[in-house]
């Protein structure tokens, strides 16, 4: 009698569940989550790419896997319990342990995925704050200099003073363009839309131009250059403006972190199918514990933040992305207190891609 009652209850429960699922739950779900909101969520891997996480760390994918597994486990348990009467409790305990372990692993991956997304959001907020700060400084200089220039012109100031004001305005405008270029490059790198031009240029000449541009800054910091160009170096094919940005970043960093009366050595030498470019400074150096983060976004070594408070921590990240997109490699050697050497290799022939987008340049 008891067994028949259990079977009858199970049968009616099954029918009731099906009716509710057909008539009630589906309608409620569709009311809460209409199709126009569901359909974009069905493209799980596309959403994972938009979140910049691997598919096995992507919360939508993990939720789908967990849901599928739970439903499959429930159906399998129902099937086994319906067709086979299991007397051994060890079997049930084993199934429960297996399901629990699986859910623990998937839960850990899910938490890691959410942590990755939260970290991305934090970096985005940090990037906005840093970019705003980096833009505010040259804009403030621009405004103050314009005010002083207007007063000087109104008061009949001498041409030399006006020339100094104009030089300050030009420097501030170049700083702003550099920040804007960094923002554009970060956007292109993150969205995998960094496409390079094909320009034929001399790396020797481009390096010499860059060093001349930084001559006044180097003298002000009591630092001198030692440049050893390569003899009979063939021209390279690549994006000249972006390569100029890479050289500016490396030279600027070397000057910033080199001690007074220091020497910055720049060398270029050919290697099979490539050109090797190196810059060595006599500066602060990078602590060993922080060297693995040096090419990360927003990273600045703790031992130089007090020495050089300004800086976005984006230059090396962008430079490495440009070099690698060009088919080369970038690395460094450093010892704290003894300076650093940054180097990259650049292929004689660039990858086959073309950029048709405009590029802001502070030199034009």
Interval 300-341: pLDDT, tens: 666 565 555 466 677 888 899 899 988 899 999 998 888 899
Note the pLDDT of residue 23.
Answer: 46
Among residues 265, 267, 260, 304, the alpha carbon closest in space to that of 281 is found at 265
Give the angle subtended at the CA of 42 by the CAs of 40 and 46, to the nearest 5°. 75
Note the pLDDT of residue 359.
Answer: 39
Give the angle subtended at the CA of 17 by the CAs of 11 and 18, to the nearest 5°. 95
Note the pLDDT of residue 344.
Answer: 95
Residue 97 has pLDDT above 70, yes or no: yes
In angstroms, what is the C-alpha Rg of the chain?
31
Torsion of CA 94, 98, 99, 103, to 10 degrees: 150
Residue 109 has pLDDT above 70, yes or no: yes
Note the pLDDT of residue 133.
Answer: 61
**Which region among 108-122, 156-170, 220-234, 263-277 has the lowest average model confidence (pLDDT)?**
108-122
Confidence grade of residue 67 (pLDDT, cut at 50, 70, 90): confident
Whole-number Å distance between alpha carbons of 62 and 164: 61
Torsion of CA 211, 214, 217, 222, to 10 degrees: 0
Note the pLDDT of residue 9.
Answer: 41
Residue 24 has pLDDT above 60, yes or no: no
Q: What string of DSSP letters covers 157-193? A: --HHHHHHHHHHHHHHHHHHHHHHHHHHHHHHHHTT-
Residue 32 has pLDDT above 50, yes or no: no
**Which region among 37-51, 81-95, 131-145, 277-291 has the lowest average model confidence (pLDDT)?**
37-51
Residue 247 has φ and ψ, to the nearest 5°, of -65, -40
Whole-number Å distance between alpha carbons of 287 and 292: 10
Confidence grade of residue 361 (pLDDT, cut at 50, 70, 90): very low
Note the pLDDT of residue 152.
Answer: 77
């Amino acid at each position: 009698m008891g067994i028949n009652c259990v079977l009858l209850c199970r049968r009616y429960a099954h029918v009731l569940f099906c009716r509710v699922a057909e008539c009630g739950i589906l309608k409620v779900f569709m009311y809460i989550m209409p199709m126009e909101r569901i359909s974009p969520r069905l493209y799980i891997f596309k959403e994972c790419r938009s979140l910049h996480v691997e598919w096995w760390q992507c919360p939508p994918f993990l939720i789908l896997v967990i849901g599928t597994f739970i439903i499959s486990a429930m159906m399998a348990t129902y099937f086994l319990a319906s067709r086979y009467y299991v007397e051994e409790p060890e079997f049930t305990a084993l199934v429960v342990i297996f399901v629990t372990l699986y859910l623990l692993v998937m839960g850990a991956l899910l938490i890691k995925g959410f942590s990755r997304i939260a970290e991305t959001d934090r970096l985005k907020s940090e990037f906005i704050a840093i970019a705003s700060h980096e833009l505010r400084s040259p804009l403030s200089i621009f405004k103050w200099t314009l005010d002083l220039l207007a007063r000087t012109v109104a008061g009949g100031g001498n041409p030399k003073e006006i020339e100094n004001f104009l030089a300050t305005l030009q420097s501030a405008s170049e700083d702003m363009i550099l920040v804007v270029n960094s923002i554009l490059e970060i956007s292109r790198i993150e969205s995998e839309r960094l496409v390079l031009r094909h320009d034929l240029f001399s790396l020797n000449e481009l390096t010499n131009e860059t060093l001349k541009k930084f001559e006044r800054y180097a003298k002000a910091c009591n630092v001198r250059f030692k440049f050893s160009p390569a003899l009979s170096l063939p021209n390279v094919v690549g994006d000249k403006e972006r390569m100029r940005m890479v050289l500016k970043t490396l030279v600027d960093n070397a000057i910033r972190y080199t001690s007074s009366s220091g020497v910055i050595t720049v060398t270029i030498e050919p290697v099979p199918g490539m050109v090797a470019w190196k810059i060595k400074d006599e500066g602060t150096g990078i602590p060993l514990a922080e060297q693995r983060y040096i090419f990360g976004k927003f990273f600045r070594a703790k031992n130089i933040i007090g020495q050089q408070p300004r800086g976005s921590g984006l230059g090396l990240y962008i430079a490495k992305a440009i070099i690698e997109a060009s088919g080369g490699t970038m690395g460094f050697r450093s010892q704290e207190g003894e300076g650093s050497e940054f180097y990259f290799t650049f292929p004689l022939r660039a990858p086959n891609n073309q950029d048709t987008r405009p590029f802001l340049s502070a030199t034009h």
